[in-house]
Structure 1
Amino acid sequence: MTVAALRDVEVDYPRGRALGPFTLEIGAGEIVALVGASGCGKSTAMRLLAGLEPPTRGEVARTPGRGETAVVFQAPTLAPWLSARANAALPLELAGVTRAEAASRADAALARVGLAGAEGARPVQLSGGMAMRVSLARALVTGPKLLLLDEPFAALDEITRRALADDVLTLWAETNPAIVFVTHNVEEAVYMASRVVVMTKSPGRVAGEVAVDGPLPRPEHFRTTEAFRAQVEAVSALLARGMAA
Protein backbone atom coordinates (compact mmCIF):
# COMPACT_ATOMS: atom_id res chain seq x y z
CA MET A 1 0.00 0.00 0.00
CA THR A 2 1.32 3.44 -0.94
CA VAL A 3 1.27 5.97 1.91
CA ALA A 4 2.59 8.92 -0.12
CA ALA A 5 3.93 9.59 -3.59
CA LEU A 6 5.52 12.30 -5.68
CA ARG A 7 4.86 11.66 -9.38
CA ASP A 8 6.82 13.66 -11.95
CA VAL A 9 6.81 16.68 -9.66
CA GLU A 10 8.64 19.87 -10.53
CA VAL A 11 9.10 22.91 -8.31
CA ASP A 12 10.05 26.27 -9.79
CA TYR A 13 11.11 29.29 -7.74
CA PRO A 14 11.94 32.78 -9.04
CA ARG A 15 15.64 31.81 -9.04
CA GLY A 16 14.93 28.76 -11.19
CA ARG A 17 13.91 25.13 -10.90
CA ALA A 18 14.65 23.57 -7.52
CA LEU A 19 13.34 20.05 -8.05
CA GLY A 20 12.38 17.67 -10.77
CA PRO A 21 11.10 16.01 -12.58
CA PHE A 22 11.13 13.77 -9.51
CA THR A 23 9.17 10.61 -8.67
CA LEU A 24 9.10 8.83 -5.32
CA GLU A 25 6.68 6.21 -3.96
CA ILE A 26 6.57 5.46 -0.22
CA GLY A 27 5.07 2.17 0.93
CA ALA A 28 3.41 1.56 4.30
CA GLY A 29 6.01 0.87 6.99
CA GLU A 30 8.92 1.56 4.64
CA ILE A 31 11.98 3.57 5.67
CA VAL A 32 13.41 5.61 2.79
CA ALA A 33 16.46 7.88 3.00
CA LEU A 34 16.96 10.78 0.58
CA VAL A 35 20.62 11.61 -0.01
CA GLY A 36 22.06 14.37 -2.17
CA ALA A 37 24.23 17.45 -2.23
CA SER A 38 23.19 20.68 -0.51
CA GLY A 39 20.59 22.54 -2.55
CA CYS A 40 19.51 19.53 -4.61
CA GLY A 41 15.88 19.74 -3.49
CA LYS A 42 15.73 17.17 -0.66
CA SER A 43 13.96 19.53 1.72
CA THR A 44 11.69 20.72 -1.09
CA ALA A 45 10.61 17.12 -1.66
CA MET A 46 9.90 16.82 2.07
CA ARG A 47 7.75 19.95 2.06
CA LEU A 48 5.71 18.50 -0.80
CA LEU A 49 5.22 15.24 1.11
CA ALA A 50 4.23 17.21 4.21
CA GLY A 51 1.69 19.29 2.27
CA LEU A 52 3.50 22.50 3.18
CA GLU A 53 3.67 23.65 -0.45
CA PRO A 54 2.27 22.51 -3.81
CA PRO A 55 4.35 21.44 -6.80
CA THR A 56 4.57 23.67 -9.83
CA ARG A 57 3.78 20.60 -11.94
CA GLY A 58 3.13 16.95 -11.24
CA GLU A 59 1.11 15.06 -8.65
CA VAL A 60 1.45 14.68 -4.89
CA ALA A 61 -0.51 11.84 -3.28
CA ARG A 62 -0.72 11.85 0.51
CA THR A 63 -2.59 9.88 3.15
CA PRO A 64 -5.50 12.15 4.08
CA GLY A 65 -6.57 13.01 7.59
CA ARG A 66 -5.43 15.14 10.50
CA GLY A 67 -2.35 13.76 12.24
CA GLU A 68 -1.60 11.21 9.51
CA THR A 69 1.70 12.96 8.66
CA ALA A 70 4.24 14.33 11.14
CA VAL A 71 7.44 16.28 10.48
CA VAL A 72 10.65 16.64 12.49
CA PHE A 73 12.92 19.43 11.27
CA GLN A 74 16.66 19.98 11.74
CA ALA A 75 15.98 22.39 14.61
CA PRO A 76 13.64 21.07 17.32
CA THR A 77 11.36 24.17 16.94
CA LEU A 78 10.04 23.86 20.49
CA ALA A 79 8.03 26.65 22.10
CA PRO A 80 10.50 27.99 24.72
CA TRP A 81 7.75 29.01 27.17
CA LEU A 82 6.21 25.51 27.27
CA SER A 83 7.33 22.43 29.16
CA ALA A 84 8.37 19.24 27.37
CA ARG A 85 4.92 17.82 28.17
CA ALA A 86 3.11 20.88 26.77
CA ASN A 87 5.28 20.90 23.64
CA ALA A 88 4.59 17.23 22.98
CA ALA A 89 0.87 17.65 23.68
CA LEU A 90 0.46 20.65 21.34
CA PRO A 91 -0.66 18.72 18.19
CA LEU A 92 -3.33 16.93 20.21
CA GLU A 93 -4.65 20.11 21.80
CA LEU A 94 -4.79 21.79 18.39
CA ALA A 95 -6.82 18.79 17.19
CA GLY A 96 -9.37 19.29 19.97
CA VAL A 97 -8.22 16.59 22.37
CA THR A 98 -8.94 17.46 26.01
CA ARG A 99 -6.01 18.88 27.94
CA ALA A 100 -5.96 15.97 30.39
CA GLU A 101 -5.91 13.32 27.65
CA ALA A 102 -3.34 15.28 25.64
CA ALA A 103 -1.05 15.52 28.68
CA SER A 104 -1.40 11.78 29.36
CA ARG A 105 -0.60 10.85 25.77
CA ALA A 106 2.29 13.34 25.71
CA ASP A 107 3.77 11.76 28.85
CA ALA A 108 3.55 8.33 27.22
CA ALA A 109 5.26 9.65 24.07
CA LEU A 110 8.02 11.28 26.12
CA ALA A 111 8.57 8.01 28.00
CA ARG A 112 8.90 6.16 24.68
CA VAL A 113 11.73 8.48 23.61
CA GLY A 114 13.53 8.11 26.94
CA LEU A 115 12.40 11.30 28.65
CA ALA A 116 10.30 9.95 31.52
CA GLY A 117 10.90 12.31 34.44
CA ALA A 118 11.68 15.31 32.24
CA GLU A 119 8.07 16.19 31.43
CA GLY A 120 8.22 19.54 33.25
CA ALA A 121 11.53 20.71 31.81
CA ARG A 122 11.61 23.77 29.57
CA PRO A 123 13.61 23.69 26.30
CA VAL A 124 16.38 25.88 27.78
CA GLN A 125 16.97 23.15 30.39
CA LEU A 126 17.41 20.41 27.77
CA SER A 127 20.51 19.31 25.87
CA GLY A 128 20.38 19.28 22.07
CA GLY A 129 19.71 15.55 22.05
CA MET A 130 16.94 15.83 24.65
CA ALA A 131 15.30 18.68 22.74
CA MET A 132 15.31 16.53 19.60
CA ARG A 133 13.70 13.71 21.59
CA VAL A 134 10.90 16.08 22.62
CA SER A 135 10.46 17.00 18.96
CA LEU A 136 10.24 13.27 18.11
CA ALA A 137 7.69 12.73 20.89
CA ARG A 138 5.60 15.60 19.54
CA ALA A 139 5.69 14.03 16.07
CA LEU A 140 4.78 10.56 17.33
CA VAL A 141 2.02 11.57 19.73
CA THR A 142 -0.65 11.52 17.01
CA GLY A 143 0.35 8.05 15.78
CA PRO A 144 1.22 9.19 12.23
CA LYS A 145 1.31 6.83 9.26
CA LEU A 146 4.05 8.93 7.65
CA LEU A 147 6.96 10.41 9.60
CA LEU A 148 9.18 12.92 7.79
CA LEU A 149 12.63 13.57 9.25
CA ASP A 150 14.45 16.50 7.64
CA GLU A 151 18.09 16.21 8.79
CA PRO A 152 17.03 16.02 12.45
CA PHE A 153 20.47 14.99 13.73
CA ALA A 154 22.61 17.42 11.71
CA ALA A 155 23.48 19.70 14.64
CA LEU A 156 24.23 16.89 17.09
CA ASP A 157 27.50 15.19 17.99
CA GLU A 158 28.27 11.75 16.54
CA ILE A 159 27.53 9.78 19.72
CA THR A 160 24.14 11.45 20.14
CA ARG A 161 23.37 11.00 16.43
CA ARG A 162 24.00 7.27 16.63
CA ALA A 163 21.94 6.89 19.80
CA LEU A 164 19.00 8.76 18.28
CA ALA A 165 19.23 6.72 15.06
CA ASP A 166 18.81 3.56 17.11
CA ASP A 167 15.97 5.16 19.07
CA VAL A 168 14.12 6.08 15.89
CA LEU A 169 14.46 2.51 14.58
CA THR A 170 13.18 1.12 17.88
CA LEU A 171 10.18 3.47 17.75
CA TRP A 172 9.58 2.43 14.14
CA ALA A 173 9.53 -1.24 15.19
CA GLU A 174 6.89 -0.43 17.82
CA THR A 175 4.53 1.69 15.69
CA ASN A 176 5.59 0.93 12.08
CA PRO A 177 5.04 4.27 10.36
CA ALA A 178 6.51 4.90 6.93
CA ILE A 179 9.57 7.12 7.38
CA VAL A 180 11.27 9.44 4.90
CA PHE A 181 14.64 10.57 6.22
CA VAL A 182 16.76 13.33 4.66
CA THR A 183 20.49 13.34 5.41
CA HIS A 184 23.86 14.33 3.96
CA ASN A 185 25.47 11.42 5.79
CA VAL A 186 25.75 8.32 3.58
CA GLU A 187 26.53 5.96 6.47
CA GLU A 188 23.56 7.29 8.44
CA ALA A 189 21.30 6.77 5.42
CA VAL A 190 22.40 3.15 4.93
CA TYR A 191 22.15 2.43 8.66
CA MET A 192 18.61 3.76 9.04
CA ALA A 193 16.88 2.96 5.76
CA SER A 194 15.67 -0.08 3.90
CA ARG A 195 16.03 1.94 0.69
CA VAL A 196 18.33 4.86 -0.12
CA VAL A 197 17.29 7.20 -2.94
CA VAL A 198 20.16 9.28 -4.30
CA MET A 199 19.42 12.64 -5.92
CA THR A 200 21.32 14.53 -8.58
CA LYS A 201 22.56 18.08 -8.12
CA SER A 202 19.95 20.84 -8.50
CA PRO A 203 17.38 20.59 -9.89
CA GLY A 204 17.10 17.30 -8.03
CA ARG A 205 16.15 14.15 -9.92
CA VAL A 206 16.62 10.49 -9.03
CA ALA A 207 20.18 9.41 -9.76
CA GLY A 208 19.43 5.88 -8.57
CA GLU A 209 18.62 3.91 -5.46
CA VAL A 210 20.14 1.19 -3.29
CA ALA A 211 18.16 -1.44 -1.39
CA VAL A 212 19.78 -2.04 1.99
CA ASP A 213 19.86 -5.62 3.19
CA GLY A 214 19.75 -6.53 6.85
CA PRO A 215 17.30 -6.57 9.75
CA LEU A 216 15.69 -3.46 11.19
CA PRO A 217 16.33 -2.30 13.88
CA ARG A 218 20.02 -2.87 13.19
CA PRO A 219 21.93 -5.46 15.22
CA GLU A 220 25.01 -4.48 17.19
CA HIS A 221 28.13 -3.99 15.06
CA PHE A 222 26.05 -3.73 11.86
CA ARG A 223 28.24 -0.81 10.77
CA THR A 224 31.31 -3.05 10.75
CA THR A 225 29.89 -5.72 8.42
CA GLU A 226 31.09 -6.17 4.85
CA ALA A 227 27.51 -5.80 3.56
CA PHE A 228 27.13 -2.40 5.25
CA ARG A 229 30.44 -1.15 3.85
CA ALA A 230 29.54 -2.38 0.36
CA GLN A 231 26.19 -0.58 0.45
CA VAL A 232 27.82 2.62 1.69
CA GLU A 233 30.21 2.46 -1.26
CA ALA A 234 27.32 1.81 -3.67
CA VAL A 235 25.46 4.88 -2.41
CA SER A 236 28.63 6.98 -2.52
CA ALA A 237 29.25 5.96 -6.14
CA LEU A 238 25.70 6.94 -7.10
CA LEU A 239 26.13 10.24 -5.30
CA ALA A 240 29.29 10.98 -7.26
CA ARG A 241 27.49 10.21 -10.53
CA GLY A 242 24.57 12.38 -9.45
CA MET A 243 26.89 15.31 -8.80
CA ALA A 244 28.33 14.93 -12.30
CA ALA A 245 24.95 14.61 -14.04
Structure 2
Amino acid sequence: MNETTQENYERRLSKYAQLLHGTDQDGLVCKLQMYQSFLGKHSELGDRLWKIEPLLILLIKSLEQDLHLTLAKFFEEDGYSIGKFIRFCLTNRRQISWAEGKPLDESVLRKQADALVEHEHVIKAIRGRRDKFFAHRDKRYLDNGDQIYSDYPLSAQDVERVTNTLISIVGAHERGLSGGRFSFHLAEFIEIGVDNMVRNLEAGRKLNFPNQALD
Protein backbone atom coordinates (compact mmCIF):
# COMPACT_ATOMS: atom_id res chain seq x y z
CA MET A 1 0.00 0.00 0.00
CA ASN A 2 1.33 3.43 -0.95
CA GLU A 3 1.99 5.87 1.88
CA THR A 4 -0.24 8.95 2.00
CA THR A 5 1.27 12.42 2.39
CA GLN A 6 -0.10 12.58 5.95
CA GLU A 7 1.48 9.22 6.82
CA ASN A 8 4.78 10.33 5.28
CA TYR A 9 4.70 13.50 7.35
CA GLU A 10 3.92 11.69 10.60
CA ARG A 11 6.59 9.06 9.96
CA ARG A 12 9.24 11.70 9.31
CA LEU A 13 8.24 13.67 12.38
CA SER A 14 8.38 10.59 14.58
CA LYS A 15 11.87 9.83 13.27
CA TYR A 16 13.07 13.37 14.01
CA ALA A 17 11.75 13.16 17.57
CA GLN A 18 13.59 9.87 18.05
CA LEU A 19 16.83 11.24 16.58
CA LEU A 20 16.70 14.27 18.85
CA HIS A 21 15.41 12.88 22.11
CA GLY A 22 16.28 9.18 21.96
CA THR A 23 18.53 7.64 24.58
CA ASP A 24 20.22 5.27 22.12
CA GLN A 25 23.40 5.98 20.15
CA ASP A 26 21.57 8.42 17.85
CA GLY A 27 20.06 10.77 20.45
CA LEU A 28 21.42 14.25 19.71
CA VAL A 29 20.19 16.00 22.87
CA CYS A 30 21.84 13.45 25.17
CA LYS A 31 25.12 13.74 23.26
CA LEU A 32 25.05 17.53 23.42
CA GLN A 33 24.25 17.60 27.14
CA MET A 34 27.00 15.10 27.94
CA TYR A 35 29.53 17.13 25.95
CA GLN A 36 28.46 20.40 27.54
CA SER A 37 28.49 18.88 31.03
CA PHE A 38 32.08 17.72 30.64
CA LEU A 39 33.06 21.14 29.28
CA GLY A 40 31.36 22.65 32.30
CA LYS A 41 33.38 20.40 34.60
CA HIS A 42 36.59 21.48 32.88
CA SER A 43 35.57 25.11 33.26
CA GLU A 44 34.95 24.48 36.96
CA LEU A 45 38.01 22.34 37.73
CA GLY A 46 40.49 23.35 35.04
CA ASP A 47 43.32 20.92 34.35
CA ARG A 48 42.63 19.31 37.72
CA LEU A 49 40.02 17.30 35.77
CA TRP A 50 42.79 15.53 33.82
CA LYS A 51 44.51 14.63 37.12
CA ILE A 52 41.31 13.06 38.35
CA GLU A 53 41.15 11.00 35.14
CA PRO A 54 43.57 11.61 32.25
CA LEU A 55 41.36 9.67 29.82
CA LEU A 56 38.61 12.25 30.12
CA ILE A 57 40.34 14.55 27.63
CA LEU A 58 40.14 11.78 25.02
CA LEU A 59 36.52 11.09 25.95
CA ILE A 60 35.59 14.75 25.48
CA LYS A 61 37.28 14.88 22.07
CA SER A 62 35.43 11.71 21.05
CA LEU A 63 32.14 13.22 22.24
CA GLU A 64 32.86 16.36 20.22
CA GLN A 65 33.51 14.34 17.07
CA ASP A 66 30.39 12.20 17.54
CA LEU A 67 28.27 15.29 18.26
CA HIS A 68 29.40 17.04 15.07
CA LEU A 69 28.91 13.93 12.93
CA THR A 70 25.39 13.47 14.31
CA LEU A 71 24.45 17.13 14.00
CA ALA A 72 25.74 17.41 10.42
CA LYS A 73 23.25 14.74 9.27
CA PHE A 74 20.39 17.14 9.94
CA PHE A 75 21.78 19.59 7.37
CA GLU A 76 22.62 17.51 4.32
CA GLU A 77 20.24 16.56 1.54
CA ASP A 78 21.04 12.85 1.68
CA GLY A 79 20.80 12.81 5.47
CA TYR A 80 17.87 13.68 7.71
CA SER A 81 17.75 17.22 6.23
CA ILE A 82 15.48 19.33 8.41
CA GLY A 83 15.43 21.89 5.57
CA LYS A 84 14.13 19.26 3.18
CA PHE A 85 11.43 18.35 5.72
CA ILE A 86 10.27 21.97 5.95
CA ARG A 87 10.19 22.27 2.15
CA PHE A 88 8.13 19.06 2.00
CA CYS A 89 5.69 20.56 4.50
CA LEU A 90 5.39 23.81 2.56
CA THR A 91 4.80 22.01 -0.73
CA ASN A 92 2.23 19.58 0.71
CA ARG A 93 0.68 21.66 3.50
CA ARG A 94 -2.83 21.41 2.05
CA GLN A 95 -2.60 17.61 2.27
CA ILE A 96 -1.33 17.57 5.87
CA SER A 97 -3.50 18.16 8.91
CA TRP A 98 -2.67 18.91 12.53
CA ALA A 99 -4.91 18.09 15.50
CA GLU A 100 -8.66 18.47 15.01
CA GLY A 101 -8.20 18.78 11.26
CA LYS A 102 -6.32 22.07 11.44
CA PRO A 103 -4.04 22.70 8.44
CA LEU A 104 -0.30 23.28 8.84
CA ASP A 105 0.35 26.88 9.73
CA GLU A 106 2.25 28.32 6.76
CA SER A 107 3.59 31.25 8.80
CA VAL A 108 5.12 28.79 11.27
CA LEU A 109 6.81 26.92 8.44
CA ARG A 110 8.21 30.15 6.95
CA LYS A 111 9.62 31.17 10.33
CA GLN A 112 11.25 27.75 10.68
CA ALA A 113 12.89 28.09 7.27
CA ASP A 114 14.11 31.59 8.20
CA ALA A 115 15.52 30.28 11.50
CA LEU A 116 17.71 27.82 9.60
CA VAL A 117 18.99 30.61 7.37
CA GLU A 118 20.01 32.56 10.49
CA HIS A 119 22.20 29.60 11.49
CA GLU A 120 23.77 29.26 8.04
CA HIS A 121 27.31 30.13 9.21
CA VAL A 122 27.05 27.62 12.07
CA ILE A 123 25.75 24.90 9.76
CA LYS A 124 28.62 25.61 7.34
CA ALA A 125 31.14 25.24 10.16
CA ILE A 126 29.58 21.98 11.40
CA ARG A 127 29.62 20.46 7.92
CA GLY A 128 33.10 21.79 7.22
CA ARG A 129 34.53 20.19 10.33
CA ARG A 130 32.74 16.94 9.50
CA ASP A 131 33.80 16.83 5.83
CA LYS A 132 37.36 18.10 6.21
CA PHE A 133 38.38 16.69 9.58
CA PHE A 134 36.15 14.27 11.44
CA ALA A 135 34.89 12.04 8.63
CA HIS A 136 37.71 12.44 6.10
CA ARG A 137 40.96 14.12 7.15
CA ASP A 138 41.88 16.71 4.52
CA LYS A 139 45.61 16.87 3.82
CA ARG A 140 45.58 20.49 4.99
CA TYR A 141 44.97 19.20 8.51
CA LEU A 142 47.28 16.18 8.57
CA ASP A 143 50.11 18.01 10.34
CA ASN A 144 48.08 20.66 12.12
CA GLY A 145 44.70 19.36 13.18
CA ASP A 146 43.95 22.42 15.32
CA GLN A 147 43.81 24.56 12.16
CA ILE A 148 40.30 23.21 11.53
CA TYR A 149 39.04 25.22 14.50
CA SER A 150 40.33 28.45 12.95
CA ASP A 151 39.07 27.66 9.47
CA TYR A 152 35.63 26.68 10.74
CA PRO A 153 35.09 28.62 13.99
CA LEU A 154 32.33 27.24 16.15
CA SER A 155 31.58 27.72 19.82
CA ALA A 156 29.76 25.38 22.19
CA GLN A 157 27.06 28.07 22.38
CA ASP A 158 26.67 27.97 18.57
CA VAL A 159 26.11 24.22 18.70
CA GLU A 160 23.63 24.59 21.54
CA ARG A 161 21.66 27.29 19.69
CA VAL A 162 21.37 25.35 16.44
CA THR A 163 20.33 22.22 18.37
CA ASN A 164 17.69 24.23 20.24
CA THR A 165 16.41 25.43 16.86
CA LEU A 166 16.03 21.81 15.76
CA ILE A 167 14.21 21.00 19.00
CA SER A 168 11.93 24.02 18.52
CA ILE A 169 11.06 23.04 14.94
CA VAL A 170 10.29 19.41 15.76
CA GLY A 171 8.47 20.38 18.95
CA ALA A 172 6.18 22.80 17.08
CA HIS A 173 5.16 20.02 14.69
CA GLU A 174 4.65 17.55 17.53
CA ARG A 175 2.44 20.00 19.42
CA GLY A 176 0.49 20.84 16.28
CA LEU A 177 -0.09 17.21 15.39
CA SER A 178 -0.92 15.99 18.91
CA GLY A 179 -2.77 19.04 20.19
CA GLY A 180 -0.13 20.05 22.69
CA ARG A 181 2.13 17.11 23.55
CA PHE A 182 5.82 16.97 22.66
CA SER A 183 8.82 14.76 23.41
CA PHE A 184 10.61 14.97 26.73
CA HIS A 185 14.37 14.70 26.81
CA LEU A 186 16.74 13.65 29.59
CA ALA A 187 19.24 16.52 29.48
CA GLU A 188 19.00 17.33 33.19
CA PHE A 189 19.58 13.70 34.15
CA ILE A 190 22.63 13.57 31.88
CA GLU A 191 24.12 16.61 33.64
CA ILE A 192 23.56 15.00 37.04
CA GLY A 193 25.09 11.76 35.78
CA VAL A 194 28.27 13.51 34.58
CA ASP A 195 28.60 15.31 37.91
CA ASN A 196 28.24 12.00 39.79
CA MET A 197 30.72 10.34 37.45
CA VAL A 198 33.44 12.94 38.04
CA ARG A 199 32.91 12.88 41.82
CA ASN A 200 33.14 9.07 41.83
CA LEU A 201 36.30 9.20 39.70
CA GLU A 202 37.84 11.69 42.11
CA ALA A 203 36.97 9.51 45.10
CA GLY A 204 38.46 6.49 43.36
CA ARG A 205 41.63 8.41 42.43
CA LYS A 206 42.13 9.48 46.06
CA LEU A 207 41.56 5.93 47.26
CA ASN A 208 43.80 4.19 44.73
CA PHE A 209 46.51 6.89 44.50
CA PRO A 210 46.58 8.47 47.97
CA ASN A 211 49.95 10.16 47.35
CA GLN A 212 48.88 11.89 44.12
CA ALA A 213 48.27 15.61 44.49
CA LEU A 214 45.08 16.66 42.70
CA ASP A 215 45.34 20.38 43.42
Bin of the TM-score, shorter chain as denominator length: under 0.3
TM-score under structure 1 length normalisation: 0.24
TM-score under structure 2 length normalisation: 0.27
Report the structure number with the largest CA radius of gyration.
2
Which protein is richer in helix relative to its size? 2
Which protein is richer in strand relative to its size? 1
